[in-house]
Structure 1
Amino acid sequence: MYTIGIFRDSSQPVLDYTKKFVRLGHEVTLLQVGEVDSELTNMDAFIIEESAVTDLACICKNILELRMRSNKLIWVLLIDNDEEAKTKKKIYLQLDADGVSVYEEEFVLQFSNILKRIENKEYPTHSQTTSSTAPLLELLPENLSVLREGKVEISLTKLEFKVLELLIDKHDKALTYEEIYQHIWSNESAEKKEYRVSNIMFHLRGKIEEDPTTPKFIKTVRTIGYKLALDQQVNRLGMNKA
């Protein structure tokens, strides 16, 4: 059914859940933590296992590299559910991981169900693709907000509004991390530019997407950055030149 790549430290024992994936008909490929290469294009989803020897920086690097190369489902499995785990979860989600959890018995079924939903959304029915008269997104600069599909007005921060304005101006064109960073922060220097861009995209998706785990608007473009995918005309109320 699906090919799932699992990043696991070689010293880590094989957990029972991988066998359950196989019994459900999935193909499981074990990958070495920290090694992300072009062969990963054949995977449908990724799981990154935390271990006693994989540190926070290593997993963060894995997430960033995977997200640059793929828009596939990325999940992190934690060892413990403690106070430190809460901080790690927030960091991993900010880096664009789709989910973070401590392994439980129900995890295999939950993960399989998410994969099925993603597949169904990638191939919508005719009724789902029929366009409505309302534009998908309307920027409302006087309110510092965006109107989604003519129904829901969503408040944005100044930075979120600024980056969404750029995405709308260049909609359906892939923008690099560098282009987005320069538009928001100009010549301000920073070591972790991709992290800062991923972080603001994470928060923006959380506001404008109905389901941030399978974004409809803000798409990750492998090895490049992001683009805004729109099928209908984009309106920018109050921004037309006289």
Structure 2
Amino acid sequence: MYRIGVVNFEGDTSGWTQFQAQMPSDWELHQTASDEGAVFDLLILLENKPEQTGEICGQLLQLKKELDSLIWIWATAQNEMNRMVYLKLGADGVMTDHLKLEEWVLIVSNALRRKAMNGQHSEEKIVSKNNGGGLVLNIRNRSIMVNENDEIRLTNLEYKAMDILFQNVGETVTYEEIYKAIWGEKENEHRKVYRISNLIFHIRKKFEEEIGTSKAIRTVRSKGYVLTV
């Protein structure tokens, strides 16, 4: 089953209704916001009118940094310039009236299967401690399995943060090391700490919601974080 996220920037969605009726049985459709942080195999950004182009471009740039999902634009306007802009910004494709729905579904389904196959060939990183529990960092799903039962889904940035903590389990990972592993760009110290703290906050929140505790990630004051499982 593939998780398909649909971001609607408001407007006429009559064309989208047609797609819903012909959606493949292994596509699980979810209405979502682009900044919601949920994990999807495919994100579809609905362009209902030309005036939304600027907003969609901004969201596309941000999503490409944070997510590992396929991203398609569903465009109602037949604007070649806009299509070229979306593709140059990293969209995997643009759906317009020039592309038949059945053909589009086949193209995207093939891409989803290739993505899934590539994920299957990646190794899972496993860390377990003597507290009677264990964590599995799942590369394919960009998620964490807790005691083989509970799955915590992560955004691409959250996954990168957990990856470096897993690599150094039981040891303090500094703000500088985390920032370099995730972003790698120059930034002032205050901004670095803020961005990392905000990211860890959202990861801890997901731990709390799924398993009732976030103690696995401990803050080392003025230095960084340590994974203590």
Which bin holds the TM-score, normalised by the shorter protein?
A: 0.3 to 0.5
Q: TM-score, normalised by structure 1?
A: 0.45
Q: TM-score, normalised by structure 2?
A: 0.48
Q: Which protein, 1 or 2, shows the higher relative CO under an 8 Å CA cutoff with sep ≥ 6? A: 1
